[in-house]
Structure 1
Amino acid sequence: MTIVDTEPTSRVWFITGASRGLGRAFAEAALTAGDRVVAAARTAPALHELASAHPGRVLPLTLDVTDRAAVFAAVAEAVGRFGRLDVVVNNAGMLSMGMVEEFTEAEARAQLDVNFFGALWVSQAVMPVLRGQRSGHLVQVSSIAALGGFPSTGLYSASKFALEGLSEALAQEAAGFGVKVSILQPGGYWTDLYTAMRSTSPLEAYGPLREELARQFAEGSVDSDPKLAAAALLTLVDSDEPPLRLLLGSMVYDLAFDIARTRADTWARWEDVSRAAEHAIAGPA
């Protein structure tokens, strides 16, 4: 049964991975702004604490985003409670670290199941709602890892590259219905992404590379308060013309331009070879 919306000026958010880290910061920022939140996560205790602090404005849902049927049921419950959805944040994710050669099939599939397929299921579940309203904003939380592949984050990057390709297409498909799609590309934030990450069984051959990566991480790691990302998200969803992509952080901003310039330079150096590989001919008889 759909409940009549008694707060028409208050937005309704649906946030996955809302119990901690960026997701929790997003939920708290939305509530501070006077909005209502459907807070979904694998574990519920922290969500109930959030609901108790904001009576009537938080719907806590225990949800495993890799379960497609459960995702559709959660979205139906959210709409049944609040009547609509205005901002959907695909934030649930996990990090598996390891060299590409080291991943087992199960480890590789688990990484894609959460970061890519989980976001796909949520996107599919909310689109009929947003289309029907002819409004709404779907925000996909990507990563600095989607700017390029880096040693030990190959499968994580693969999951985020896939999410961004999906989201670019979805943005164009949804635009005709008045639905906006944006991709957040955050750098480092003080969340438990790294403390909860999974690691492959290391191969001895990559020992020297791991030592070098550890040194670089110790010297150059820059992490920020998740509240800063939440403030940026609010600015994004408040915009009448939100961008398809939004970089979060100076480090990721500079890195994005460095990578883009390097790619452009490489394409230019190999222009003759690229153009020579195309010459239209008549189709086969």
Structure 2
Amino acid sequence: MKSKVWYVTGASQGLGLALVKKLLAKGYRVAATSRKAAELEKAVDAGKDSFLALPVNLLDESSVQQSIADTVGHFGSIDVVVNNAGYGMAGALEELTDAEARANFDVNVFGSLNVIRKALPYLRAQKSGHIFNIASVGGFTGGFPGFGIYCATKFAVHGFTESLAHEIKEFGLFATVVFPGYFRTNFLTSSSLSTPKNEMPEYTAVRAVQSTHTDQYNGQQAGDPDKAADVLIRTAEMQQPPIHLFLGADSYQFSAAKIDLVKKDMEALKEWAAATNI
């Protein structure tokens, strides 16, 4: 496994950076992307025999393709892809403009799809490989007022990863969607969490949830990103890795509550809804 080459997006901070450092410490070779490669090189102290920092614009297919070609050219292969790049978007659905909503989808959804599309020819040719798509517990349960668009992007990641896992199975490839809970990273700071340009005073509940996240949760998250990185690495080492990976005790709690709610809603109208065949 130590001969495997990892390709990690959004690696200059947070979970991505923790993962890159863990991988290098364990002897893996890593190509990592950021909008600014210099910041990444500064954050990661490693030689070019094991680490390659790549400046990539994930919304530009040619930039993504070049970075993956550079990875293969430098290390000889690409084996584990981690779509980690993304950012949070707070705000009620009514508050967010079309441009704000689409921008979040561009990075969180279409950026990952660009990577998948450009990496798969290499993975299929070698008939081995694993793609991790980092969603969020908000990609499994949307019960977070003021995070509807962000949840929608992560639900999309959840959905296409499930399909992807079945599409690439015949090539000996695996795909896993990851649902992290609250981890102690900079995700809840202004560098990773956007807010509406035109907030509406009527949405007091949304402002309260937003404030709770930025003022109370930020810096107090229970999750340790280094331990999360360990779980990702151990999952990649499995012969038959799962399609779904829930990270954090809180992720399990939120997701169990969602499953219970779905079961309750299904039973509530089962007699009517299940009797609709012609």
User: TM over 0.5, yes or no?
Assistant: yes
Match of 1:122 in 2: 115
Q: 1:142 aligns with which of 132, 135, 151?
A: 135
- For 1:103 and 1:209, how far apart are their aligned partners in 2? 12
**What is the RMSD computed on CA atoms of the aligned residues?**
1.8
Matched, 1:207 2:200: no
Q: Which amino acid aligns with 1:236?
A: T
> Which sections of structure 1, spanning at least 5 residues, go unmatched?
1-7, 280-285
SS of the counterpart of 2:171? coil
Q: Which amino acid aligns with 1:17?
A: G
Deviations 1:164-195 (A, max 9, x none): 11111110010100011011110111222211
- For 2:205 and 2:43, how far apart are their aligned partners in 1? 45
Of stretches 73-82 and 209-218 in structure 1, the one that deviates more from structure 2 is 209-218
**Shift in CA distance, 132/65, structure 1 to aligned 2, threshold 3 Å:** same
Deviations 1:112-133 (A, max 9, x none): 0000000000011111110000
**Shift in CA distance, 198/215, structure 1 to aligned 2, threshold 3 Å:** closer
Match of 1:5 in 2: none
In the TM superposition, residue 87 of structure 1 has moved relative to its aligned partner by 0.7
Match of 1:3 in 2: none
Matched, 1:176 2:170: yes
Match of 2:243 in 1: 244
Q: Which has the larger radius of gyration?
A: 1
Q: 1:53 aligns with which of 37, 46, 52?
A: 46
SS of the counterpart of 1:74? helix
> Which sections of structure 2, spanning at least 5 residues, go unmatched?
none
In the TM superposition, residue 56 of structure 1 has moved relative to its aligned partner by 1.4
Matched, 1:186 2:180: yes
Deviations 1:121-158 (A, max 9, x none): 00111111100000011000010111222211111011
SS of the counterpart of 1:202? coil
- For 2:165 and 2:67, how far apart are their aligned partners in 1? 23
Deviations 1:63-101 (A, max 9, x none): 121112211111111111111111110000011110000
- For 1:216 and 1:108, how far apart are their aligned partners in 2? 20
**Shift in CA distance, 18/215, structure 1 to aligned 2, threshold 3 Å:** closer
What is the identity percentage for the equivalent residue pairs of Structure 1 and Structure 2?
Answer: 35
Matched, 1:96 2:93: no
SS of the counterpart of 1:23? helix
**In 2, are the aligned partners of 1:51 and 1:57 still within 8 Å (CA)?**
no
- For 2:206 and 2:187, how far apart are their aligned partners in 1? 22
**In 2, are the aligned partners of 1:89 and 1:140 still within 8 Å (CA)?**
yes
In the TM superposition, residue 218 of structure 1 has moved relative to its aligned partner by 6.3
- For 2:214 and 2:275, how far apart are their aligned partners in 1? 42
Q: Which amino acid aligns with 1:232?
A: V
- For 1:28 and 1:133, how far apart are their aligned partners in 2? 26
- For 1:46 and 1:223, how far apart are their aligned partners in 2? 27
Query: What does 1:192-271 align with in structure 2 at a 5 Å threshold?
Result: 192-195=186-189, 196=191, 197-200=193-196, 201-211=198-208, 214-215=211-212, 222-271=221-270
**In 2, are the aligned partners of 1:51 and 1:59 still within 8 Å (CA)?**
no
- For 1:69 and 1:97, how far apart are their aligned partners in 2? 30
**In 2, are the aligned partners of 1:99 and 1:151 still within 8 Å (CA)?**
yes
TM-score under structure 1 length normalisation? 0.90
- For 1:60 and 1:216, how far apart are their aligned partners in 2? 32
Deviations 1:1-35 (A, max 9, x none): xxxxxxx9511000000111100011111111111
TM-score under structure 2 length normalisation? 0.92
